[in-house]
Structure 1
Amino acid sequence: MTYSKEWINILNLVNDFCSEKKVVWFRGHSHSEFQLHSGLFRKEYDSLETYIHLEALSYRKFLNLGHLHHTERDWNLLYLMQHHGVRTRLLDWSESFTTALFFARSSWRTEQDACFWMLVPTSLNKLTRGKTQLLVPYEGPTYEEYLFSGEGARFSENSIALYPVRNSNRMISQLGVFTMQGNSMLPLDKEYNGFLVQKGDLVKINLPLSVLTDVDNFLLQAGVTDYTMFPDLDGLARQVNRIQGYWPRLTLKMNPSID
């Protein structure tokens, strides 16, 4: 079976975008209507102060109650919080297209379209910080200073592209990077009145249901599985439970030549 023309056109769009841009990040959504909101700002509260209070409380609880499971704090702890499901102001991106495609596919329902986004992170930082460099957080104020310093360091109004320390196997496998949402509380594509979208440095590509089989075959041929994305026992269990697509025949015989 060959790839559909629709899927080939999508791959060409990705190739053209990456050919024109020096640095590209990807993010997959299992529903095309999902907004580019971090977990923290997906909650609906009336004031920014409520979000910041929740953010500080989440950090303290994860730090104090999780001390037997980690030795991290500050930015490195924030990355762990994000990858273990805490609602933070970080939004997951990847340097890998296949990673984004995997996450778009992982919860894709047959009654809806999925999508993925492509971002030029240096263009975002040019708008927010006046510099095209990616922000390396440990070279500046600590995360705790942002949370607790009062009149000291303050979160910016708009998102910033971060290049984090990859302090977990999942981040390494997924080539994980982040944008950190600002205090404007707007989704990334709405920031700066949609300038990044208008400029073509933030692009959304829909994945219609008609390419679902193409996506499955593409991920299979690329060797992308639950276990490669989550290289731990949880990821292995997901892969074992996912009985779909090509499943190689396994034998329990020590010597296949003996019947």
Structure 2
Amino acid sequence: MKIKNFTDLIKELEPLKKNNDLIFRGQSNVDWEIIPKSGRNGFSEKYTKTLPERQIFNSWKRYAKSHLSKHPETEWDWLAIAQHHGLATRLLDWSKNPLVAAFFACIENNDSDGVIYYYKLTDVLEFDERTTSPFDFKGFNIFFPSGLVSRIINQRGLFTITDKPTVGLEKQLKGELKKIIISKEAKENIIMSLDFYGINKLSLYNDIDSLSEYLNDYVANNHSNNLNQLITEE
């Protein structure tokens, strides 16, 4: 059954709330593979022995230092920051909050059905972030970043990582990965309902660019939810 409105979505999520070990990911096109950006076409085939993914990351890190007031202590947190600033990495964004996943499943591609994936955390491997490089890590695992980036905290974010970034997680996790399909016709209704409950670009990204986008969306789409208070405050 496809989710047809926000009420359907809440009914589908309700039985899951007893599971505190679930993580969620939203994608705005149900046909897309669950694959990190560095493993997608346009990136994966470009990496070679003379131009490895690690080298691109090290170049990013070298230049990014001048833009950061505080530098991460581990390569893992460096990679998390690079991921959230748009670099193609082998990390994949997830959230502990299913409504955050719903936002990303509905915010774009209105001509396609969206999807929320969820996965039960089991057998999470313990490893030393100070001595283990994300580029040498083997297998599949979960990475909980530190709170250096407010966006990660706002989104209750965490990451999955795999040494096979070109292989979709559907294949790697097989039956362990579950999904909720959201009808393309339901996306606008769900986005407006999420906004009412405080899940929107402004709350999730919490930067000045997102503030501008949020207000632009309000004007363009004639939203009326709880934004009236924001635009009338002095």
TM-score by length of 2: 0.83
CA distance in structure 2 between the aligned counterparts of 1:108 and 1:99, rounded to whole angstroms: 17
2:157 corresponds to:
176
Among 214, 228, 231, the alignment partner of 1:239 is 214
Offset of 1:9 from its aligned partner? 3.7
Give the letter aligned to residue 248 of structure 1. N
Confirm or deny: 8 A CA contact 1:7 1:211 kept in the other structure: yes
Correspondence 1:140-159 to 2 at 5 A? 141-143=131-133, 147=135, 154-156=136-138, 158-159=139-140
Correspondence 1:90-109 to 2 at 5 A? 90-109=91-110
Offset of 1:87 from its aligned partner? 0.5
- Give SS of 2:154's match: helix
Offset of 1:69 from its aligned partner? 1.1
Among 181, 200, 206, the alignment partner of 2:181 is 206
The percentage of counterpart residues that share the same residue type is 23
Q: Deviations over 1:6-35 (max 9, x none)?
A: 64343222222333x341111111111111
1:16 corresponds to:
15
Offset of 1:134 from its aligned partner? 5.8
Confirm or deny: 8 A CA contact 1:26 1:100 kept in the other structure: yes
**Cα–Cα, structure 1 residues 238 and 52, in superposed 2: closer, same or farther, change >3 Å?**
farther
**Cα–Cα, structure 1 residues 5 and 39, in superposed 2: closer, same or farther, change >3 Å?**
closer
Q: Deviations over 1:196-243 (max 9, x none)?
A: x2xxx4211110023224312320221112110111112111112112
Confirm or deny: 8 A CA contact 1:121 1:134 kept in the other structure: no
Confirm or deny: 8 A CA contact 2:39 2:165 kept in the other structure: no
Confirm or deny: 8 A CA contact 2:34 2:169 kept in the other structure: yes
**Cα–Cα, structure 1 residues 176 and 184, in superposed 2: closer, same or farther, change >3 Å?**
closer
Among 223, 228, 232, the alignment partner of 1:248 is 228
Offset of 1:83 from its aligned partner? 0.3
Structure 1 unmatched runs, 5+: 123-131, 148-153, 255-259
Q: Deviations over 1:22-53 (max 9, x none)?
A: 41111111111111100110135459x73894
Give the letter aligned to residue 115 of structure 1. V
**Cα–Cα, structure 1 residues 14 and 234, in superposed 2: closer, same or farther, change >3 Å?**
same
- Give SS of 1:93's match: strand
Correspondence 1:3-82 to 2 at 5 A? 7-19=6-18, 21-43=19-41, 45=44, 50=48, 53-70=51-68, 71-72=71-72, 74-82=75-83
- Give SS of 1:186's match: coil
**Cα–Cα, structure 1 residues 102 and 12, in superposed 2: closer, same or farther, change >3 Å?**
same
**Cα–Cα, structure 1 residues 187 and 52, in superposed 2: closer, same or farther, change >3 Å?**
farther
Confirm or deny: 8 A CA contact 1:39 1:87 kept in the other structure: yes
Rg (Cα) greater in structure: 1
Out of 10-19 and 238-247, give the one that drifted further.
10-19
CA distance in structure 1 between the aligned counterparts of 2:165 and 2:199, rounded to whole angstroms: 36
CA distance in structure 1 between the aligned counterparts of 2:51 and 2:141, rounded to whole angstroms: 21
Out of 30-39 and 238-247, give the one that drifted further.
238-247
1:222 corresponds to:
197
Q: Which has the higher contact order (CA 8 A, sep 6+)?
A: 2
